[in-house]
């Protein structure tokens, strides 16, 4: 049996759950996976309809925040598909993950899968490919403000996409084709401007900012890099934070690292099960994203 403090790794599922509990929590659902992806796109399209009907700056601003959060939502659902748990049918999992979630965001699920599984094998260890996202913390508030400014002015996303282009435009052919098709559809219905106002603007502004906040909350300043209950963080999120920052149960990150093959739509149930079994005191839990950001920006200027 694996030691509960084996560096960087989760625990055997049988240490946490009975076989019946595990079977129920790991069950994948085509309907729920499809609904999650459809929900993200319906929210995005709903914001576009709202702006077309009510062309007001405040409607646009709200749309930027909501759409940017749903773009993060698509990335989260791509993440589940990369784990093979978004739907029961594998072909549907692969299709949704790549074509409905990855390509819209200029990502590739298959490349992400190989990279991300290394993160799970070596969580918060020297070989963790995501260690650079958490290692610099804590930082000063001034440094954090500069990072957020770069996000909201498009600099972060522009730099990332430029790095992709330097590796070859051909690798982005699927993503480019999807986005051109999206623009074409909006142009045909006479609403071409929505592609720029409520797809590209959120993509270059709100999406990178909430992605940064997500990364900080998940692993920055965790109390014990070698303890699977404490080398990731679960953060409570109310309805507003789920709508604008943490969609599709992404805030349940301890749970995801403990058993990575539980679908995102069952993580809240897994969380409640862990609390009922008395694991709450062992877990790294925070009451909200603002306290986490306060912890991550607690360094004083020298």
Whole-prediction pTM: 0.94
Q: pLDDT value at position 15?
A: 78
CB distance 232 to 222 below 8 Å: yes
* Residue 177, token pair as written in the block: 């084709």
Q: pLDDT value at position 84?
A: 97
Q: pLDDT value at position 136?
A: 92
Q: pLDDT value at position 36?
A: 98
Per-residue pLDDT tens over the stretch 234-291: 999 999 999 999 999 999 999 999 999 999 999 999 999 999 999 999 999 999 999 9
Rounded to whole angstroms, the Cα distance separating 60 from 183 reads: 18
CB distance 194 to 186 below 8 Å: yes
Rounded to whole angstroms, the Cα distance separating 184 from 93 reads: 26
Pairing verdict, β 234-235 and 285-286:
parallel
Q: Which residues of the chain carry a pLDDT beneath 50?
A: 1-6
Cross-strand pairs, 285? 234
- Classify 71 as helix, strand or coil: helix
The torsion region of residue 301 among left (phi > 0), alpha (psi -120 to 50) and beta comes to beta
Helix, strand, coil shares of the chain as percentages rounded to 5?
Answer: 65, 0, 30
Q: pLDDT value at position 11?
A: 64
């Amino acid at each position: 049996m694996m030691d509960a403090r084996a560096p960087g790794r989760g625990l055997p599922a049988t240490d946490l759950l009975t076989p019946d509990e595990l079977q129920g929590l790991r069950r994948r659902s085509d309907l729920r996976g499809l609904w999650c992806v459809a929900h993200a796109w319906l929210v995005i399209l709903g914001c576009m309809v709202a702006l077309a009907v009510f062309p007001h700056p405040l409607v646009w601003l709200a749309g930027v925040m909501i759409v940017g959060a749903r773009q993060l939502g698509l990335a989260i659902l791509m993440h589940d598909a990369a784990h093979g748990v978004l739907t029961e049918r594998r072909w549907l999992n692969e299709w949704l993950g790549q074509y409905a979630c990855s390509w819209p965001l200029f990502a590739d699920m298959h490349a992400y899968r190989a990279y991300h599984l290394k993160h799970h094998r070596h969580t918060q260890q020297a070989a963790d490919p995501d260690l650079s996202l958490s290692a610099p913390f804590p930082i000063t508030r001034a440094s954090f403000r500069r990072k957020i400014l770069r996000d909201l002015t498009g600099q972060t996303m522009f730099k990332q996409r430029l790095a992709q282009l330097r590796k070859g435009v051909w690798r982005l052919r699927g993503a480019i084709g999807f986005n051109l098709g999206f623009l074409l559809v909006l142009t045909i219905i006479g609403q071409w401007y929505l592609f720029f106002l409520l797809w590209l603007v959120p993509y270059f502004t709100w999406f990178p900012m909430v992605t940064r906040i997500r990364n900080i909350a998940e692993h920055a300043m965790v109390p014990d890099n070698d303890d699977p209950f404490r080398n990731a963080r679960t953060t409570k999120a109310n309805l507003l934070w789920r709508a604008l920052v943490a969609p599709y149960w992404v805030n349940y990150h301890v749970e995801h690292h403990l058993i990575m093959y539980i679908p995102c739509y069952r993580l809240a149930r897994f969380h409640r099960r862990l609390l009922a079994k008395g694991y709450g005191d062992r877990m790294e839990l925070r009451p909200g994203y603002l306290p986490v950001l306060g912890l991550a920006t607690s360094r004083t200027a020298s």
